[in-house]
Chains A and B, each alone.
Chain A
Amino acid sequence: MNSEQTNFELEPGLRVRPIENGTVIDHIKAGQALNVLHILKLPGQFESVVSIIINSPSKYGKKDVVKIENRELKVKELDKISLIAPSATINIIRDFKVLKKNRVEIPEYVEGVVQCINPNCISNSSEPITSKFRVYEEDNIINLRCIYCERIISEDIADHLL
């Protein structure tokens, strides 16, 4: 691909400089950038620069963008983002150029990302397990079914992030 970072760097109104190496997550639903970082457990111990652009104007209304310098996140890791930002695109940047561009894909399962909404679920107890959900899409809505108690979360997934 090797194109310039034009599509998300040079649009009028973006105030963050292009990054030399790392990952740019673009087309995040407006208002979800902080949740994206939360899912990715960033910045955590990560020491390089992480830039966040919230409510940036775009062709389809507003969007958020996250730029993570000096780290190429793995596609699998990024797929978790699809729970709250299914239209996000992932751009791997090397030498200021877009090396790879992918849409996030809905993973089959997510583990340790979301808390089950059922207070009586075994995953909400002191047992040595992490929450696990099967992820599926129905009528363009992302649903999470707890593999333990089978309770379904289909709305406000961001409210239940661990």
Chain B
Amino acid sequence: MKDFSKEMIDHILETAEKLESIAVMKERSDMLTGKVLAVLFFEPSTRTRMSFETAMIRLGGEVLSMGSVDASSISKGETLADTIRVVQSYADAIILRHPKEGAARMASEFSSVPVINAGDGAGHHPTQTLLDLYTIKRESKLEGLKIALAGDLKYGRTVHSLCYALSHYGADITLVSPDELRMPYEIIKDLEARGMKVRETDSIDEAITEVDVLYVTRIQKERFPDPAEYLRVASSLQITPELLENAKSHLKIMHPLPRVNEIDPLVDNTPHACYFKQAFYGVPIRMALLALVMGAME
């Protein structure tokens, strides 16, 4: 995401906006009729894989799925490079999720058709960042945004990429995390060097009163050797209807999903809940990317 210019991001977001009526089936499209999208997922996924497939189908194209790794040539020891060399002759674009960092970049070296990175291990997940930005644009505002990021800010690649992307728009960022899961210092330094205001706190109550968007991430149990410590930390950051009483009326709560217990299900019915809409916005964003990389739109 760091390599994306503001102009490129804006162009993708504007394209998604143009395609949203197709995503909600108010319009039909044959923009990608006759085109084939190969979907190669070497790791489990629900939202990313299905929203890419939906995006392709809504634009009139066909989807070719590798299926499970166990049922493919990978289980016979085939390299990713060979898989890509074969699949690129079947499809007009490839969506790749792989556990190894840099897999998509390597795949693009072996492919004559565009490769879209749908997540590479702990590396990047750029389409998630784009859909996060799109959600903020549609449900709140990108310019002059005040956002709080809460949860695992140390390992969460989603929040790191989102912060870098938001640096194009000059957001005011509050980081809410337990000491053990604070955002790496190098990233904070990097963001400040890009002109962003960043402050850290461990109190969600304090942060929630001032922001337009609250972005919550999952805290993973395995990060804590002591289960009691995990429970203490997880409950201190839980979003409840009571906590929201002090929030701005227009506050939107986002979460990349799946959630476990970071957000009380009672929050789902409040006007603040935005995470399911966010999951939907993955469709227009991925439609925009497919239309752009396959040359159906400029």
Q: How far is the CA of A85 from the CA of B145 in the complex (A)?
A: 47
Indicate if the CB atoms of B100 and A120 lie closer than 8 Å.
yes
A127 cross-chain contacts in B, Cβ below 8 A = 79-81, 106
Interface flags for A24-62 (1: CB within 8 Å of B; 0: not) read 000000000000000000000000000000000000000
Indicate if the CB atoms of A149 and B81 lie closer than 8 Å.
no
Q: Is A140 an interface residue (CB 8 A)?
A: no
Q: Is B109 an interface residue (CB 8 A)?
A: yes
Known: A127-B106, A129-B109. A121 touches B101 (CB 8 A): yes
B196–chain A nearest beta-carbon distance, Å: 20
Residue of B nearest to A124 (CB): B100
Q: How far is the CA of A150 from the CA of B105 in the complex (A)?
A: 10
Interface flags for A112-131 (1: CB within 8 Å of B; 0: not) read 00000010111101111100
Q: How far is the CA of A32 from the CA of B78 in the complex (A)?
A: 40
Residue of B nearest to A116 (CB): B102
Q: How far is the CA of A146 from the CA of B122 in the complex (A)?
A: 15
B8–chain A nearest beta-carbon distance, Å: 18
Residue of A nearest to B80 (CB): A127
A118 cross-chain contacts in B, Cβ below 8 A = 101
A151 cross-chain contacts in B, Cβ below 8 A = 101
Indicate if the CB atoms of A120 and B81 lie closer than 8 Å.
no
Interface size class of B (residues with CB under 8 A): 10 to 19
Q: Is A75 an interface residue (CB 8 A)?
A: no
A147 cross-chain contacts in B, Cβ below 8 A = 102, 105
A109 cross-chain contacts in B, Cβ below 8 A = none
B160–chain A nearest beta-carbon distance, Å: 12
Q: How far is the CA of A20 from the CA of B81 in the complex (A)?
A: 48
Residue of A nearest to B121 (CB): A120
Q: Is B103 an interface residue (CB 8 A)?
A: yes
B96–chain A nearest beta-carbon distance, Å: 11
Interface flags for B93-114 (1: CB within 8 Å of A; 0: not) read 0000011111101100100000
A149 cross-chain contacts in B, Cβ below 8 A = 101-102, 120, 123
Indicate if the CB atoms of B81 and A148 lie closer than 8 Å.
no
Which residues of chain B have a CB within 8 Å of any CB of chain A?
Answer: 79-81, 98-103, 105-106, 109, 120-123
Further pairs besides A122-B102, A129-B81, A149-B101: 13, Cβ < 8 Å: A121-B101, A122-B98, A122-B105, A122-B106, A122-B120, A127-B80, A129-B109, A146-B102, A147-B105, A148-B101, A149-B102, A150-B102, A151-B101
Which residues of chain A have a CB within 8 Å of any CB of chain B?
Answer: 118, 120-123, 125-129, 146-151
Considering the complex of A and B, which 9 residue pairs feature the smallest CB-CB distances, nearest first? A148-B102, A149-B101, A149-B102, A122-B102, A122-B100, A122-B106, A122-B103, A127-B81, A127-B79
A-B contact pairs, 22 of them (CB 8 A): A118-B101, A120-B99, A120-B100, A120-B121, A121-B100, A121-B101, A121-B102, A122-B80, A122-B100, A122-B101, A122-B102, A122-B103, A123-B102, A123-B106, A127-B79, A129-B106, A129-B109, A148-B106, A149-B101, A149-B102, A149-B120, A150-B102
